[in-house]
Structure formats: C-alpha cells, structure tokens
Amino acid sequence: MFDEPLRLAVLGSATPYPSADNPCSGYLVSGGGARVWVDAGTGTLGALQRHARLDELDAIWISHLHADHCADLLTAYYGALYADIRLAAPIPLYGPPGTADRLADFLTNTARRSPVESAFAVTELSDGHRVRVGPLALTSRAVDHGMPAFALRVEAGGRSLVYSGDTAPCAALTELAEDCDLLLCEAESAGPESAGPRAEPAPGAGDPVHHTPEQAGATAAAARAARLLVTHVGRAMTPAEAVARAAAHFAGPVAHADPGATFTV
Ligand SMILES: [Zn+2]
C-alpha cells in the first residue's frame, strides 16, 4: 500500500436522493494502509463494503449534516454495535458540531440514550482543524453552505486531494485547494436560470449554497489544482453536461465522479 500514497474511491455521488445505480455522496480515501470514509450519504455503506468493513476503517469524516451526506451513519451504528462487526474501539468520527447529539436524537427509542459514543469517537470539526490518520494528514476548513459545513484536504506522500463538501464558491475552499493534485468539487447548481429542482432548501432568498459547474471550474483554476472531478451534480444536468461546463473554465483534466470509479492521486 505504501507505493500508492493516495487513492479515492467514489462510493456514490447522487443528490439529493440515490439513483438505482448511484448512492448519495460518499468516498473512501485511502493511502499508506489507512482508510477514511468521507461522507456517509444514503447507500454508501453498501458500496463501502466493496473496499472495507466498518472495523477496517481508521476514521470517518463528515462534511455536514444534510442527510445526503450523513444518513448512512445511522445504519453504520447498527452494524458497529449490533451485528457481526466487533470493533476494537469506537471508530474515530470527525464531523460538524452537534454530530453526536443529532445521531442520538434519531437512534434513541427509549428513555435511555442510544450509546452512539460506543460506535463512534466523535471529534467536532472547527475551521482549520488538523488531524493525522496514520500517514494521512487531514485539514478541514469551514465553508459556505448556509449551515455548519466543512471542506477537506488530505495529504500523504507528497500528494494532495481536496473535497469541497457542499459549498458556494468561497475563499476558504480556494485556499484549502491551493496547488492540490485533485480537486473533488460539487456542482449541484445548474445556475440561476435553471427551472430545475434545488437539492436543498436555500437558507435565504437568493443565497447561493452550491457551485455551478462553471464555478467548480473557476475554483479549480483559482486554486491551480492539477485535476478536477465534479461530483454531486444536480438532477437538472447530466454529468456529461456538468463536465463540459466546468471544462470551459479550467484548463486541466475534468471528469465526473462516477459511482464505483477509483482514482490514484
Ligand atoms: Zn448539503
């Protein structure tokens, strides 16, 4: 594994609900023998098992608490505590403030709080949070999604991967993505002219909370990313349309985060 410093497997990239053949947002980032489940959108726990069992994960990282990015934490909890998995210790889980209570609020069915902390060792993210997961260095930045939300940079062996999470274009994401080898950037919004449905309610009238494909390309260009993967493409566009629109604003290679695809960074 050490000859492969950084690898991205796309577990799913659909929004805001899974397709028959594409779960919601979720990725497995691995390198040097360490494995991090990045976003746990609906359906990604199933796809994850093509690569790793829950007890083989070194950490979970959650960008924000919209269901299409975290809902499979609920069934992962059942897997971790009430099935065939025997965790040596709770799985380190990095997520927005309030993550543990949000899980417990859903999972608890009696007067006794479900033991979320037995499945997950939760650390709340803050802007600039850094942690090492084995050979992987993780840096989180607060981004602009109308709610607590984070982007992630993973570095190992001199290579770097940046994931936008969900966000409008913002300086924090561009800074985080500076000179990265691969930018995995959402492109949910078809643009203000689109009559298509929104993925999520906007926090206020006209407040942008997502990238358009053009903005994903512009963010990649501004950050001098080597390569762009568009993901979380809204249903008002096809992935091919999103790639073409992004590529008009970024000179480097652009592709879509197809479910099941893997990329060596
Ligand atoms: Zn979101």
For residues 73 and 101, is the Cβ–Cβ distance under 8 A? no
Average predicted confidence (pLDDT) for the chain: 93
Residues paired with residue 10 on neighbouring β-strands, in sequence order: 27
Query: Taking 80 as the threshold, does the pLDDT of residue 206 lie above it?
Result: no
Q: How remote is the CA of residue 126 from the centroid of ligand 1, in Å?
A: 17
Compute the distance between CA of residue 161 and CA of residue 28 in angstroms, rounded to an integer. Answer: 12
pLDDT by residue (tens digit) across 83-131? 999 999 999 999 999 999 999 999 999 999 999 999 999 999 999 999 9
pLDDT band per the 50, 70, 90 thresholds, residue 207: low
Q: How remote is the CA of residue 195 from the centroid of ligand 1, in Å?
A: 19
Query: Taking 50 as the threshold, does the pLDDT of residue 196 lie above it?
Result: no
For residues 59 and 90, is the Cβ–Cβ distance under 8 A? no
Mean pLDDT, rounded, for 195-221: 72
Q: How remote is the CA of residue 159 from the centroid of ligand 1, in Å?
A: 27
216 HSE (CA, 13 A, CB side): 38
Residue 223: per-residue pLDDT: 98
% pLDDT > 90, the chain: 91
Compute the distance between CA of residue 265 and CA of residue 31 in angstroms, rounded to an integer. Answer: 10
Query: Taking 70 as the threshold, does the pLDDT of residue 2 lie above it?
Result: no
9, two tokens:
């497997």
Residue 191: per-residue pLDDT: 87
pLDDT band per the 50, 70, 90 thresholds, residue 3: low
Query: Taking 90 as the threshold, does the pLDDT of residue 202 lie above it?
Result: no
Q: How remote is the CA of residue 173 from the centroid of ligand 1, in Å?
A: 15
Compute the distance between CA of residue 69 and CA of residue 41 in angstroms, rounded to an integer. Answer: 4
pLDDT by residue (tens digit) across 16-33? 999 999 999 999 999 999
Q: How remote is the CA of residue 169 from the centroid of ligand 1, in Å?
A: 14
What domains sit in the chain, N to C, each tagged with a CATH number? 7-264 (3.60.15.10)
